[in-house]
């Protein structure tokens, strides 16, 4: 563990470091041409350091009660390792992973393994789809609003969404992609939400009407109150907490209609609308990815007042970084695209910084 860092400062230090990385990234983008390979090479070196640093920083974190799920899984790990309790869950892949870990790892190694599974798929996805410019995408992944939280708290959610991202790296080999997605469901069943969105988008690709449906969900959710929460309660019960039920209130989670979260989601919604509808960027993979994001986010809007609403929102948010940045590294849309890219990355991360550091 990184014992020299006080646990109460651990989270804030992560975001402060990323702010410094962002500053360097912005300076690089506005001062050099985006096609300057020497400059890109220097950025890639920083990217590799950030990749290793983030993986170790998350994986070697202290395990205080502040990280609620970490504490629970740490306790479960020790109880199973000592043979006092046998962890049982309908999520078969995580149960198998925990059983394997308790027989081969220490608790510290267990948490590190979780975060390797969590971070590496983002790295692989960025390298595959963004090529030379992979670091811009990877930075947006690790600087996303809930990225740190799901590497330290919502661990199974984080692992499952990471496997979903990894599965997308095999988009041209559908059989392998769906096998990995099936394993992701075995880590946490809630991944069914983006998976259903992915399958729907596979057969229906009209982005315009999917967007109209998303817009309609906002007034529908406002008017219908708790109808949708009641309808879907138990759909993603993880065995410890029914996210939508009334019996498990997370005192650190603000409930109600979250306009700030909708505003955050709207960054991804608007990006896809602009590139697909306005700029006619209709690459098959991107359209499919974007439609999946919109459908999954629409489900969250319907149940936005639920307990643990942020965990449901994350089932679309984990796709938002590539949804926003993908077209900008694939095509040239503006004369000063490097400045636009710097602005987009800055706005995206500064929302995270404001919400989690300044606002707290």
pLDDT of residue 304: 85
- Domain positions in the chain are 1-187, 192-318
The mean pLDDT of 165-179, rounded to a whole number, is 97
Residues 6+ apart with CB under 8 A from 336: none
- Using CA atoms, how far apart are residues 120 and 241, in angstroms rounded to an integer? 28
If you average pLDDT over every residue of the chain, what do you get?
Answer: 87
Q: Find the mean pLDDT for residues 209-228.
A: 87
Q: What is the mean pLDDT of residues 23-35?
A: 84
More confident residue, 268 or 43: 268
Contacts of 14 (CB under 8 A, 6+ apart): 57, 148
Given a cut of 50, whether residue 246 has pLDDT beyond it is no
Helices (H), 105-154: 107-130, 134-142, 147-152
Mean pLDDT calculated for residue range 22-39: 80
pLDDT score of 123 more than 50: yes
User: pLDDT class for 64, splitting at 50, 70, 90?
Assistant: low
pLDDT at 87: 67
Residue 300: predicted pLDDT:
92
d(CA 5, CA 19): 18
Question: CA–CA separation, 62 vs 28, rounded Å?
Answer: 34
CB 322 within 8 A of CB 341: no
pLDDT band at 255 (very low <50, low <70, confident <90, very high): low
> How far is the C-alpha of 106 from the C-alpha of 81, rounded, in Å?
9
| pLDDT the model gives residue 245 | 44
Per the structure block, which two tokens stand in for 284? Answer: 């098959």
pTM over 0.75: yes
Any idea what DSSP says for residue 256? Answer: S
Q: Alpha-carbon distance 185 to 93, whole Å?
A: 8
């Amino acid at each position: 563990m990184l014992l020299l860092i006080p646990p109460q400062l651990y989270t804030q230090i992560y975001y402060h470091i990323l702010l410094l990385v962002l500053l360097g990234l912005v300076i690089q983008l506005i001062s050099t041409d985006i096609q300057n390979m020497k400059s890109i090479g220097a950025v890639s070196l920083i990217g590799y350091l950030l990749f290793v640093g983030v993986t170790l920083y998350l994986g070697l974190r202290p395990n205080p009660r502040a990280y609620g799920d970490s504490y629970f899984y740490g306790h479960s790990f020790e109880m199973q390792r000592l043979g006092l309790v046998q962890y049982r869950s309908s999520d078969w892949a995580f149960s198998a992973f925990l059983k394997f870990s308790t027989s081969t790892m220490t608790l510290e190694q267990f948490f590190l393994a979780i975060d390797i599974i969590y971070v590496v798929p983002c790295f692989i996805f960025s390298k595959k789809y963004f090529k030379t410019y992979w670091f811009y995408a990877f930075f947006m992944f690790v600087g996303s609003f809930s990225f740190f939280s799901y590497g330290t708290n919502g661990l199974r959610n984080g692992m499952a969404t990471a496997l979903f991202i990894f599965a997308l790296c095999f988009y041209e080999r559908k059989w392998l992609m769906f096998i990995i997605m099936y394993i992701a469901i075995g880590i946490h069943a809630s991944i069914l939400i983006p998976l259903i969105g992915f399958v729907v988008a596979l057969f229906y690709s009209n982005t315009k009407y999917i967007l109209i449906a998303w817009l309609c969900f906002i007034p529908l959710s406002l008017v219908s109150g708790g109808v949708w929460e009641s309808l879907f309660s138990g759909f993603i019960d993880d065995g410890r907490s029914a996210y939508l039920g009334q019996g498990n209130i997370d005192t650190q989670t603000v409930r109600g209609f979250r306009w700030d979260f909708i505003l955050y989601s709207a960054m991804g919604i608007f990006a896809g609308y602009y590139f697909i509808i306005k700029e006619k960027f209709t690459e098959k993979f991107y359209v499919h990815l974007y439609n999946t994001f919109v459908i999954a986010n629409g489900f969250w809007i319907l149940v936005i007042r639920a307990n643990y609403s942020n965990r449901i929102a994350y089932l679309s948010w984990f796709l938002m970084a590539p949804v926003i940045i993908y077209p900008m590294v694939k095509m040239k849309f503006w004369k000063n695209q490097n400045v636009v890219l710097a602005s987009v990355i800055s706005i995206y991360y500064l929302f995270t910084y404001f919400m989690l550091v300044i606002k707290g």
